[in-house]
C-alpha cells in the first residue's frame, strides 16, 4: 500500500522521464522531447478510438488497400491520419514513412531535424475480434551533412542509425514501451490522469532458453529446413525445460507477440517461406524498431543469417524474415542456419 501511495504522490510520467533523460545531454534542445510528446498524444488518441471502436462504428473495412496491398480497416485509416497530423504539428519531422502510404510523406514547409517511420496500427486484422493491436515507430536524426533534396533515401537507413524506437500496445491496459538507446522502459496509461506513468523500468528479456515460442505454424510446409528443424525441436522434450516440450503462443499481432516475448522470454518469428522468401514483416517500421528494443533489453534479432539492424533497406516497404527474443534461443536458430549452409 505504501508503494502505491508513493507512486501517486510522485508519479514519473513519460514527460518527466524525458526531461530527466534530457538533462544527461548538454547539447539537448528539447526538440526530441517535443517530438515524443506528439507521439504519445497520437497513441492516446488511437487508444481512445480503439477502446470505443464498436460504439464509434470504427470496426470493418474502409474499402481501400495500403502500400502493401492489404485491405485497410477503418481504424487503420484513422490511426494513420492521427499519427501524420500529430507529427506534422510538432514541426520536428521533415519526412515520414508509414505502412499505409505508398510514398514517403515529405513536409516541405518544415525544418525539423528528425525522420520517423511507423506502422500506425499493427495487427489490424484482429480489430474486429477485439484482440490487442498496437503502434510501432522508429526515429532517425537528420544527417545535416547531406545536401541532397529530401527523398525516400532519407528513410532507407539501417537500424543501427535509429536513435529511438517504441511501440504502444492497446490491450487491457495501454502501454508504451520505449528505448532511446539507454535501455527499455514501459509506461502505462493512467486513464484518470491522462498520462503515461513509468511502470516497468529497465526491462530485461531473459537470456536463457525459455518455455515459449511464437510462430504461425500454418506455414510449416513452406518453410526452409532450418526453420522446420527449430520448430520440430521446440516440440520435443528438452532437458532445460524439465523434460517438457515448449509452449506455442501466437497472437498474430506483432506488438502483442513481441511484448509477451520481451516480458516472459522465448522467441518470436515470422520467417520467409517458399512463396514469400522475405517474409511478411516490413524492415523499416516493424523489423528495425522491434530489433532495437529487443537488443536494448539484452536479446537478439536476426534473419537467421544476418543481424536485422545491420540490413540495408532497399525500399520503403521492403520485407525481412525475422527471429527475435532471448539471446540463447536466437543463437540456436543461427546455429541451425550455419549447419544447413555447410551441407
**Catalytic-role residue among 76, 195, 295, 334:** 76
Q: What is the DSSP letter of 70?
A: P
From the list 14, 58, 87, 99, the catalytic residue is: 99
Dist CA 217 CA 270 (whole Å): 10
Tell me whether residue 143 is one of the annotated catalytic residues: no
Angle in degrees, 0-180, between the axes of helices 327-342 and 225-234, rounded to the nearest 10: 140
Cα 321 to Cα 337: distance, rounded to the nearest angstrom: 13
Grid coordinates standing for 57?
A: 462504428
Is residue 96 within 8 Å of 86, Cβ to Cβ?
Answer: no
* Annotation says 276 is catalytic: no
224 assigned to active site: no
The span from the CA of 57 to the CA of 60, in Å, is: 8
Cell of 238: 528438452
- Whether residue 47 contacts residue 174, with contact meaning beta carbons closer than 8 Å, is answered with yes
Residue 332 annotated among the catalytic residues of the structure: no
| φ/ψ (deg, to 5) at 299 | -100, -165
Establish whether 21 is a catalytic residue: no
Q: Which helix (H) or strand (E) holds 261?
A: helix 254-264
Whole-angstrom distance, CA of residue 235 vs CA of residue 204: 26
- Which secondary-structure segment (H or E) carries 98? strand 93-98
Catalytic residue list contains 119:
yes
Separation in Å, CA 134 to CA 174, 267, 269: 9, 19, 18
Residue 308, Ramachandran bin (φ over 0: left; ψ between -120 and 50: alpha; else beta): alpha
> Is 76 a catalytic site residue?
yes
Per the residue annotation, which of 100, 257, 295, 334 is the catalytic one?
A: 100
Out of 36, 121, 283, 293, pick the active-site residue.
121
Active site residue 257: no
Q: Which of 21, 41, 62, 70 is catalytic?
A: 70
Q: Which of 58, 87, 122, 316 is catalytic?
A: 122
Q: Which of 119, 195, 257, 295 is catalytic?
A: 119
191: left (phi over 0), alpha (psi -120 to 50) or beta: alpha
* Among 257, 248, 228, 254, CA closest to 319: 254
Query: Catalytic one among 257, 286, 295, 334?
Result: 286
Active site residues: 70, 76, 99-100, 119, 121-122, 286
Amino acid at each position: 500500500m505504501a508503494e502505491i501511495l508513493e507512486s501517486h504522490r510522485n508519479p514519473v510520467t513519460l514527460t518527466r522521464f524525458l526531461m530527466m533523460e534530457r538533462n544527461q545531454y548538454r547539447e539537448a534542445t528539447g526538440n526530441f522531447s517535443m517530438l515524443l510528446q506528439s507521439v504519445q498524444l497520437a497513441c492516446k488518441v488511437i487508444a481512445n478510438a480503439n477502446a470505443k471502436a464498436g460504439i464509434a462504428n470504427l470496426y470493418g473495412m474502409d474499402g481501400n488497400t495500403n502500400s502493401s496491398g492489404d485491405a485497410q480497416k477503418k481504424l487503420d485509416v484513422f490511426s494513420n491520419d492521427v499519427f501524420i497530423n500529430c507529427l506534422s504539428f510538432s514541426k520536428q519531422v521533415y519526412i515520414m514513412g508509414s505502412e499505409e502510404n505508398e510514398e514517403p510523406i515529405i513536409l516541405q514547409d518544415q525544418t525539423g531535424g528528425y525522420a520517423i517511420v511507423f506502422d500506425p496500427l499493427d495487427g489490424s486484422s484482429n480489430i474486429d475480434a477485439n484482440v490487442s493491436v498496437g503502434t510501432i515507430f522508429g526515429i532517425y536524426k537528420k544527417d545535416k551533412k547531406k545536401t541532397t533534396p529530401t527523398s525516400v533515401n532519407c528513410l532507407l537507413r539501417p537500424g543501427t542509425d535509429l536513435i529511438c524506437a517504441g511501440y504502444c500496445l492497446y490491450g487491457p491496459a495501454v502501454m508504451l514501451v520505449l528505448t532511446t538507446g539507454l535501455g527499455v522502459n514501459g509506461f502505462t496509461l493512467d486513464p484518470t490522469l491522462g498520462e503515461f506513468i513509468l511502470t516497468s523500468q529497465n526491462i530485461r528479456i531473459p537470456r536463457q532458453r525459455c518455455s515459449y515460442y511464437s510462430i504461425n505454424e500454418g506455414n510449416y510446409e513452406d518453410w526452409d529446413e532450418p526453420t522446420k528443424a527449430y520448430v520440430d525441436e521446440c516440440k520435443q522434450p528438452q532437458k532445460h525445460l524439465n523434460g517438457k516440450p515448449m509452449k506455442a503462443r501466437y497472437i498474430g499481432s506483432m506488438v502483442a507477440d513481441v511484448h509477451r516475448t520481451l516480458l516472459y522470454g522465448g522467441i518470436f518469428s515470422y520467417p520467409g517461406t517458399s512463396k514469400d522468401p522475405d517474409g511478411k514483416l516490413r524492415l523499416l517500421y516493424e523489423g528495425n524498431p522491434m530489433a532495437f528494443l529487443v537488443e536494448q533489453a539484452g536479446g537478439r534479432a536476426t534473419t537467421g543469417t544476418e543481424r536485422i539492424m545491420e540490413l540495408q533497406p532497399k525500399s520503403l516497404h521492403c520485407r525481412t524474415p525475422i527471429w527475435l527474443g532471448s539471446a540463447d534461443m536466437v543463437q540456436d536458430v543461427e546455429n541451425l542456419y550455419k549447419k544447413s549452409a555447410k551441407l
